[in-house]
């Protein structure tokens, strides 16, 4: 038994069953948790994210940032924030592409919100020329106009699972029985308040997932944009509209595991509820764009054109690799449809004059 599982069992012995959200929090972000010390990314890790598939992903986001900054009136100073920057690949590619706009680079102060010590080290190496400031949470990023990026962050935020039974909604919890950790149900926690109205009368057996942590984060981002001007780009996987179903899963070495196996050693993730995120952001006063499928977003930003241009200058084998990378990012059966993109902006973005946000 590893240290994370031991501490989860101790906590259950002391406090009783844990909600799925408490389990995720402990296993991912608690002491020794999956996102505290590991580098989970890349072919040798547990999964590969879009910026690790191709540099074109980060480059196009860099150009999106320059374009959005111009639409926001090109503030002379702004905070460029990434939450969950992984190895720093996306931001390094983005800032290289942004060299086309020296005024953008001169106006930005880079902030990285990251809880993982090993990844902070890699970010420091890749982004040394941009003197980033690290934060444990968004709360310590100073006030002021902001451009914010988060790719594959929200799927790692804890979810609660609510299960409809013949006696009404119950909450899925993790308890200990004679053979180890096992799922059970108890009376629902206050998370039931986030249940989507359309799901309240679901059929017996239905599972609903709600994430107070995701709602709190999107609300904090939106409020800052409303107060200080700016925009955010959030990319993750999940359906465009809120749905029912159990999407809680564990991923280790590119394979799915049962969520209670290898706690602390496998990524625990769930689909992002974009309907809940966009509603919360709009309620906080932000302008909301999307969700748009990642394939459509990248195509609108010109990924195919970019790949063709690079391929023309490269040998045949490299050209083949570039086209495989684009396929992985945009094909519907790959990352193109399941992954969605949403944009948020403060009310200062004048839609009539600026025309919304590129690609959304």
Ligand X SMILES: C[S@@+](CC[C@H](N)C(=O)[O-])C[C@H]1O[C@@H](n2cnc3c(N)ncnc32)[C@H](O)[C@@H]1O
35 is a contact residue toward ligand X (CB under 6 A): yes
The least CB distance from residue 345 to ligand X, in Å, is: 21
Contacting residue, 7, 19, 49, 287, with ligand X by CB under 6 A: 49
DSSP letter at 41?
B
CB 87 within 8 A of CB 112: no
How far is 59 from 97, CA to CA, in rounded Å? 5
Size of the site for ligand X (CB under 6 A): 20
Q: Which burial class, exposed, middle or buried, applies to 219 when counting CB atoms under 10 A from its CB (0-12, 13-18, 19+)?
A: middle
Q: What are phi and psi of 242, to 5 degrees?
A: -60, 135
x/- mask, ligand X, residues 71-100, rule CB under 6 A, reads ------------xxxx---x----------
| Closest residue to ligand X, based on beta-carbon distance | 84
x/- mask, ligand X, residues 101-140, rule CB under 6 A, reads ------------xxxx--x---------------------
Contacting residue, 4, 21, 23, 41, with ligand X by CB under 6 A: 41
The least CB distance from residue 137 to ligand X, in Å, is: 7
156 is a contact residue toward ligand X (CB under 6 A): yes
Q: Per the structure block, which two tokens stand in for 227?
A: 């107060």
Place of tokens 């179903």: 245
151 is a contact residue toward ligand X (CB under 6 A): yes
Q: Which is nearer to ligand X, 156 or 208 (CB)?
A: 156
Q: Where is 119: in which H helix or E strand?
A: helix 117-126
Site for ligand X in 301-360 (CB under 6 A): none
Q: Per the structure block, which two tokens stand in for 307?
A: 């790949």
The one segment of 73-81, 149-157, 226-234, 240-248 that binds ligand X by CB under 6 A: 149-157
How far is 147 from 155, CA to CA, in rounded Å? 21
Q: Which is nearer to ligand X, 30 or 85 (CB)?
A: 85
CB 149 within 8 A of CB 81: yes
270 is a contact residue toward ligand X (CB under 6 A): no
Contacting residue, 5, 93, 152, 273, with ligand X by CB under 6 A: 152
Q: Which is nearer to ligand X, 29 or 207 (CB)?
A: 29
The least CB distance from residue 176 to ligand X, in Å, is: 26
45 is a contact residue toward ligand X (CB under 6 A): no
The secondary structure of 194-257, three-state, reads HCCHHHCCCCCCCEEEECHHHHHHHHHHHHHHHHHCEEEEEEEECCCCCCCCCCCEEEECCEEE
DSSP letter at 263?
T
Q: Per the structure block, which two tokens stand in for 194?
A: 């986030």
How far is 53 from 298, CA to CA, in rounded Å? 14
The least CB distance from residue 142 to ligand X, in Å, is: 17
Contacting residue, 4, 65, 80, 153, with ligand X by CB under 6 A: 153
Q: Which is nearer to ligand X, 117 or 305 (CB)?
A: 117
How far is 231 from 348, CA to CA, in rounded Å? 10
* Cis geometry, peptide bond prior to residue 30 (ω within 30 degrees of 0): no
The least CB distance from residue 31 to ligand X, in Å, is: 14
Q: Which residues contact ligand X (rule: CB under 6 A)?
A: 29, 35, 41, 49, 51-52, 83-86, 90, 113-116, 119, 151-153, 156
């Amino acid at each position: 038994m590893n240290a994370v599982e031991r501490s989860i069992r101790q906590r259950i012995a002391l406090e009783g069953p844990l909600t799925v959200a408490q389990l995720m929090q402990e296993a991912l972000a608690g002491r020794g948790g999956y996102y505290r010390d590991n580098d989970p990314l890349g072919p040798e890790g547990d999964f590969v994210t879009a910026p690790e598939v191709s540099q074109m992903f980060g480059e196009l986001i860099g150009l999106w940032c320059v374009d959005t900054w111009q639409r926001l009136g090109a503030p002379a100073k702004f905070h460029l924030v990434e939450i969950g920057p992984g190895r720093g690949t996306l931001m390094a590619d983005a800032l290289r592409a942004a060299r086309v706009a020296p005024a953008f680079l001169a106006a930005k102060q880079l902030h990285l919100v990251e809880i993982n010590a090993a990844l902070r080290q890699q970010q420091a190496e890749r982004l040394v020329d941009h003197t980033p400031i690290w934060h444990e949470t968004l709360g310590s990023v100073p006030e002021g106009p902001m451009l914010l990026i988060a790719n594959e962050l929200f799927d790692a935020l804890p979810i609660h699972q609510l299960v409809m039974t013949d006696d009404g909604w119950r909450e899925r919890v993790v308890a200990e029985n004679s053979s180890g950790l096992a799922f059970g149900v108890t009376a629902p926690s206050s998370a039931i308040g986030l249940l989507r109205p359309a799901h309240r009368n679901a059929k017996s057996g239905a599972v609903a997932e709600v994430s107070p942590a995701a709602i709190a984060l999107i609300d904090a981002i939106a409020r800052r944009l409303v107060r200080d001007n700016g925009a955010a780009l959030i990319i993750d996987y999940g359906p465009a509209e809120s749905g029912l179903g159990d999407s809680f899963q564990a991923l280790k070495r590119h394979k799915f595991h049962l969520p209670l196996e290898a706690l602390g050693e496998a990524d625990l993730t769930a689909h992002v509820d974009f309907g809940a995120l966009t509603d919360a952001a709009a309620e906080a006063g932000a302008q909301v764009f999307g969700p748009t499928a990642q394939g459509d977003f990248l195509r609108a930003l010109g990924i195919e054109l970019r790949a063709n241009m690079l391929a023309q200058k490269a040998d045949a084998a490299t050209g083949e690799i570039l086209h495989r990378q684009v396929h992985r990012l945009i094909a519907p059966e790959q990352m193109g449809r399941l992954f969605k993109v949403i944009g948020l902006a403060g009310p200062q973005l004048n839609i009539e004059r600026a025309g919304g946000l590129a690609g959304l």
